[in-house]
């Protein structure tokens, strides 16, 4: 158990809908990273939050947004969903944002858009 | 061209064999990570390296910064080692997330 909790584990929704994925980092970790894993693109970095502030963006679509709350949990909001958004979404947490800190991954949320 | 290349893509071996998975990267990095992903989907961090060599149980990871190359070795492989092994790098500052290889799908047959 990595100590990172993601909910829900599975989500099935229709095209055009909006969903929210939730991530609770390990106790004491200030950084939360969101990643998407799809069959065609593999694992890709979406966005990074540190202590409530956005720190970096990767290949995140404009239809997607995220935030980190004062209790450090984070939410990834996906809107106007398309079939191609079906993927595994992981969050990872680390103590800081320096490069040499180990990242701990959650079990992922499997999103299926039908 | 992917910034992180892994080889082989697929590897099937017999129980007890010595396994090597290779990772090459084309950018300057601050750290390299080896991750394991089981069929259930969860990702486990195995090693984080910025130089030299690390060992944990039957797993050994090495990195050569000059050659931009890392290897993950598994000694006395076991069917429970069957998983996808993913190499990932921190290529930017600390704010950027990891850049991943496509993974090596390892099957250890009893």
Given a cut of 60, whether residue B1 has pLDDT beyond it is no
Question: Tokens in use for A67?
Answer: 């935030």
Put simply, the answer to whether B98 touches A35 (Cβ < 8 Å) is: yes
Contact B103 A42 (CB under 8 A): yes
Query: Is the distance from CB of A18 to CB of A65 less than 8 angstroms?
Result: no
- Between CA B108 and CA B110 the distance in angstroms is 7
Gap between the Cα atoms of B59 and A12, Å rounded: 37
The model's pLDDT over A83-92, given as tens digits with 9 standing for 90+, comes to 999 999 999 9
Range of lowest pLDDT (A13-17, A47-51, A96-100, B1-5) = A96-100
Residues facing B87 on adjacent strands: B34
- For residue B80, give the 3-state DSSP assignment: helix
Q: Measured between CA atoms, how close is B109 to chain A, in angstroms?
A: 25
Q: Which residues pair with B10 in a beta bridge?
A: B105
Q: Residue B45: closest CA among chain A residues belongs to which residue?
A: A104
- Nearest residue, CB atoms, A100 vs list B31, B88, B100: B31
Among partner residues A42, A46, A55, which is closest to B95 by beta-carbon distance?
A55
Residue-wise pLDDT for B22-78, tens only, equals: 999 998 888 899 999 998 778 999 999 989 999 999 999 999 999 999 999 999 999
d(CA B19, CA B70): 14
For residue B94, give both structure tokens: 């600390």
Q: Percent of chain A beyond pLDDT 70?
A: 97
Structure tokens, B25 = 């990267």
How many CB atoms are located within 10 Å of the residue B2 CB? 13
CA distance A106 to chain B (A): 7
Check CB contact of B24 with chain A, cutoff 8 Å.
no
């Amino acid at each position: 158990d990595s100590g990172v909790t993601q909910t829900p584990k599975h989500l099935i929704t229709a095209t055009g809908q909006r969903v929210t994925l939730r991530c609770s980092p390990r106790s004491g970790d200030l950084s939360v990273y969101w990643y998407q894993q799809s069959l065609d693109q593999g694992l890709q970095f979406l966005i990074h939050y540190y202590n409530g502030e956005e720190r970096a963006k990767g290949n995140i679509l404009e239809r997607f947004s995220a935030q980190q709350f004062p209790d450090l949990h984070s939410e990834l909001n996906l809107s106007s969903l398309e079939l191609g958004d079906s993927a595994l979404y992981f969050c990872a947490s680390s103590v800081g944002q320096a490069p040499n800190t180990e990242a701990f991954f959650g079990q992922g949320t499997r999103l299926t858009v039908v | 061209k992917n910034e992180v290349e892994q080889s082989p893509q697929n590897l099937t071996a017999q129980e007890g064999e010595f396994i090597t998975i290779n990772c090459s990267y084309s950018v300057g990095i601050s750290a390299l990570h080896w991750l394991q992903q089981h069929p259930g989907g969860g990702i486990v961090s195995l090693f984080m390296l910025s130089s030299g060599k690390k060992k944990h149980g039957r797993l050994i990871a090495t990195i050569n910064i000059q050659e931009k190359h890392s290897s993950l070795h598994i000694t006395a492989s076991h069917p429970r080692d069957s998983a996808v092994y993913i190499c990932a790098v921190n290529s930017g500052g600390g704010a950027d997330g990891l850049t991943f290889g496509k993974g090596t799908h390892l099957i250890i047959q009893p």
